[in-house]
Every structure is written in C-alpha cells, then in structure tokens.
C-alpha cells in the first residue's frame, strides 16, 4: 500500500532504523569516523562499502534528510548542500566542462541568473530563453547542449514553465533536464512526472518552512541514462548507471567544492519537512485570498498569481500542480510607490526570503533584482514597481485585513 506523502515523511527516519528507538534521527556532529579494521576504512574510501569518512561528504543526520527528500521526489538518491545556491552551482560545476552549452529559462531566481553570467565567464555557453514555451528552448538547442534548467513557478513573476514540453525535448536527446522545484515543493509537484533528470531544492524555503535553516539539495529521478553522458569520469562509472551522476556530484560538487550542509541545519530542515503538506495547503489558500483582494485594489495595476484566471499559464498550472503555490507578486499604478504600500502593512514583514511560516514582502526591483540593472529586469519581465509577497500560514482573514487596511490608508492620502 502506498501511503500519503505526509505519512511517509513522518515515518521516513524510523523506516530506516534509528539508534535506541528514537522517533527521529539525532544530530551527528562528529567530523571524522573511525574504524576498528583498517581494511574497512579502505573499503569505505574506495566505495566498496557504504559508510562515512569525513563530515564534508555528509553524515548520518544529513543522510536521513537526503533519504527524506529522495522519498518526497520519488527519486533514486539525493545529495544535500549548505544552500540552494550551493546545490545549483555545485551540480553544474560537477557536470559541465568548458565548451558545453546550457539552455535556461530567463525567468529565474536572481542569484541563479547571476550564476549563469559566472558560468559563461568560465568557458561555458548559456542561452536564456522564455521557457513558458518549449519551442523557444528547442530553437536554442545546439549539438553541445548538455543541460536545460528551469524553475517550475518562476520567482518573482510566477511564470509557469512549459515543463512537459521541455521534458519531451530533453529525453530523446540525452540532455540533462534540471528542474528547480523550490516554489512548488514535492507536495504540489514532482518534476519526475515531466521527465526531469535532476530536481533541485532550496531547502531553506518551503521544505524547512520555519526560516531557521539554510540548505539545498539535488535529487536524481533515475530517468537519465548516465551511460551516455560524456562528462562523467571513468572512476565514477561503477555500479548501476543510475547512480553515476549523483556520485560525481557528491565527489566533485560536494567533496571538492565543500558546500556541505551542517548536521544542525539538516536536522531543523528535516523537522520542518514533517509539516510540509499542512503548511503548503495553508499558504496556497492564503495566496489565493490575498491575490483576489489585490485584484480589487485601484492602486494595484497587475497581480501575478498562477491561481488567478487572468494568469497566462493558469490552465497549465492547474493541470500540472496540486496547488498554485505560496508566492505572488503585484505591480502598483504610476504614482503609488511600492515602499509606501509596504510601509502601510502592519502584519506582513518587509523582508527577503520566501517559503517562511510568516508572510514576507519586498520591492523586488529595488532589492533582490537591483544589482542586475533595469535592462535585465525588463528581459525578465520584472516591473520597477513589482512587490513580491511570500505567504505564510497566518489566518487568512488577518492577512486580507492587513492588505485592505494598507490600501485604505493609501487611498485616503
């Protein structure tokens, strides 16, 4: 019997066996691991036996979190990292070589967009396209394209990528298809269903939920044929090919680059994950209620939320996802300054970050998308007045009331 995701998350640690009958995996803080027999230490080093050698490559606490993410994504394995950015950068560094080409959505989390500049400086080519239509991705493909990267619902403008169409392009061509599932979380969407090879998470966001830990992960869905991937080193082509990609990511991306998730943060993320399904349902309901409230405000010119019928990919989101997500953004009319709107809010916190239990908002163009400049913002469809709101789990009525009182104050002025 396949139990519900919420049930399986709660019992994942116990299913793997926990010391002393503890109900969840304890914190393992040792840096090193000792063996009675030298031969065992050697076997672990050589990958013949599983075990731990040094904390930079993981420990039992982070391994338990990795198993939980693997379960959530119905994947074959997961490697955790110190942050979502560490997961993205380390995965690409581990799998790409100078001269390779990557196609990515041009609607991306700002730091991911910034990373694509760095990748180009390091001798890889990257083409950023409007990934809401797979035709644009197809036109950008070249003989040396190794990877396609997209988010599910783009942060902050909420464009929904043509996830199915892109999967159909990548699979027959042997291109690694990477989906950043941070905004949807495994409760709303599993990228494996559209043919993704690797699934990235910023665990700092919805999966942790409490805004008290940073982490990232990459999971292998088991769909990619690593035997055909030219950049895998012979030393990692051992055992079943489904494990080769993650092995190289763990060795080159985690061990050599060193962006390791700490046991403390891994433990907090694992605890947060226990309530993922409950929290996501509430944030989705809150986002829809606030989006509908914003649509009625004369000072708001546009509301971007996939759950609204006015959203360009509303139908696609409804078909692909089990909910429309906890993030929305909106634009104000000329003469209404986004800072004034935010300052009029009493409950909502003016803060970066998203996927927190508390509702957070910020003027996107002036903060997280400031450094890239207006031209780049325009290409990403980010209006200068855009306000991003990440919904928390507060009572819906309290949130709607906060936005209503804020706009009432501003209209009176």
Ligand X SMILES: *Cc1c(COP(=O)(O)O)cnc(C)c1O
Where along the sequence are the contacts to ligand X (CB under 6 A)?
83-85, 109, 112, 151, 155, 180, 182-183, 202, 204-205, 214, 216, 354
Q: Which is nearer to ligand X, 118 or 144 (CB)?
A: 118
Q: Nearest-5° angle of CA 189, CA 176, CA 217?
A: 55
Q: Which is nearer to ligand X, 216 or 272 (CB)?
A: 216
- CA-to-CA dists, residue 203 to 73, 134, 267, angstroms: 13, 27, 12
Least distance between ligand X and beta carbon 181 (Å)? 9
Q: Which residues contact 169 (CB under 8 A, 6 or more apart)?
A: 134, 137, 138, 141, 148, 175
User: What span, in angstroms and rounded, lies between the C-alpha atoms of 53 and 242?
Assistant: 23
Q: Which is nearer to ligand X, 59 or 204 (CB)?
A: 204
H-state helical runs in 174-221: 185-188
Least distance between ligand X and beta carbon 17 (Å)? 30
Least distance between ligand X and beta carbon 250 (Å)? 19
| 330 beta partners | 303, 387
With H, G, I as helix, E, B as strand and everything else as coil, classify residue 98. coil
Q: Which is nearer to ligand X, 156 or 232 (CB)?
A: 156
CA 175 to chain CA mean position, Å: 20
Q: Which is nearer to ligand X, 13 or 180 (CB)?
A: 180
User: What span, in angstroms and rounded, lies between the C-alpha atoms of 81 and 93?
Assistant: 14
Least distance between ligand X and beta carbon 216 (Å)? 5
Q: Which is nearer to ligand X, 80 or 83 (CB)?
A: 83
Q: Which is nearer to ligand X, 140 or 354 (CB)?
A: 354
Q: How many C-beta neighbours within 10 Å does residue 76 have?
A: 17
Q: Which residue is nearest to ligand X (CB)?
A: 84
Least distance between ligand X and beta carbon 109 (Å)? 4
Q: How many C-beta neighbours within 10 Å does residue 98 have?
A: 8
Least distance between ligand X and beta carbon 182 (Å)? 4
Least distance between ligand X and beta carbon 183 (Å)? 6
- CA-to-CA dists, residue 243 to 81, 177, 188, 201, 364, angstroms: 18, 16, 26, 19, 39
With H, G, I as helix, E, B as strand and everything else as coil, classify residue 139. helix
Least distance between ligand X and beta carbon 200 (Å)? 7
Q: Which residues contact 192 (CB under 8 A, 6 or more apart)?
A: 73, 74, 75, 199, 221, 222, 223
| 101 beta partners | 125, 145
Least distance between ligand X and beta carbon 152 (Å)? 8
- CA-to-CA dists, residue 16 to 21, 36, 242, 280, 309, angstroms: 11, 24, 21, 26, 44
Tell me how far apart the 2 most distant CA atoms of the chain are, in Å.
Answer: 78
Q: Which is nearer to ligand X, 178 or 348 (CB)?
A: 178
Q: Which is nearer to ligand X, 96 or 214 (CB)?
A: 214
Q: Which is nearer to ligand X, 182 or 262 (CB)?
A: 182
User: What span, in angstroms and rounded, lies between the C-alpha atoms of 156 and 330?
Assistant: 9
Least distance between ligand X and beta carbon 217 (Å)? 10
């Amino acid at each position: 019997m396949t139990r519900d995701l919420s049930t399986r998350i709660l019992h994942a640690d116990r299913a793997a066996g926990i010391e002393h009958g503890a109900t969840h995996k304890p914190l393992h803080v040792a840096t090193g691991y000792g063996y009675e027999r030298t031969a065992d230490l050697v076997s672990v080093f050589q990958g013949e036996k599983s075990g731990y050698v040094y904390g930079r490559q993981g420990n039992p606490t982070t391994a338990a979190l990795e198993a939980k993410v693997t379960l959530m994504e119905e994947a074959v394995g997961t490697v955790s990292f110190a942050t979502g950015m560490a997961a993205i950068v380390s995965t690409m560094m581990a799998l790409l070589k100078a001269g390779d080409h990557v196609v990515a959505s041009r609607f991306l989390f700002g730091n991911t967009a910034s990373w694509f500049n760095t990748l180009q400086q390091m001798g890889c080519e990257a083409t950023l396209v409007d990934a809401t239509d797979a035709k644009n991705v197809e036109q950008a493909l070249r003989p040396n394209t190794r990877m396609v990267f997209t988010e599910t619902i783009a942060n902050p403008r909420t464009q929904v990528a043509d996830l199915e169409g892109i999967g159909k392009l990548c699979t027959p061509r042997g291109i690694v298809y990477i989906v950043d599932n941070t905004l949807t979380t495994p409760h709303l969407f599993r990228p494996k269903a559209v043919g993704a090879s690797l699934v990235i998470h910023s665990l700092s966001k919805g999966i942790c939920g409490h805004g008290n830990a940073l982490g990232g992960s990459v999971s292998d869905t088991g769909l990619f044929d690593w035997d055909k991937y030219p950049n895998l080193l012979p030393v990692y082509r051992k055992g079943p090919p489904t494990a080769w990609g993650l092995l190289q990511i763990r060795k080159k991306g985690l061990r050599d680059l060193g962006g390791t998730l700490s046991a403390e943060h891994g433990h907090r993320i694992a605890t947060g994950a226990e309530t993922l399904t409950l929290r996501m349902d509430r944030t989705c309901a809150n986002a829809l209620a606030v989006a509908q409230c914003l649509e009625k405000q004369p000072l708001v010119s546009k509301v971007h939320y996939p759950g609204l019928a006015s959203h360009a990919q509303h139908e696609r989101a409804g078909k692909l996802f089990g909910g429309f997500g906890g993030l929305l953004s909106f634009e104000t009319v000329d003469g209404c300054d986004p800072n004034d709107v935010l300052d009029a809010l009493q409950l909502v916190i003016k803060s970066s970050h998203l996927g927190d239990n508390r509702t957070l908002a910020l003027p996107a163009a002036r903060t997280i998308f400031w450094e890239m400049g207006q031209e780049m913002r325009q290409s990403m469809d980010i209006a200068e007045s855009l306000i991003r709101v990440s919904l928390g789990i507060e009572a819906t009525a309290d949130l709607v009331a906060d936005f209503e009182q804020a706009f009432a104050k501003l209209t009176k002025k």
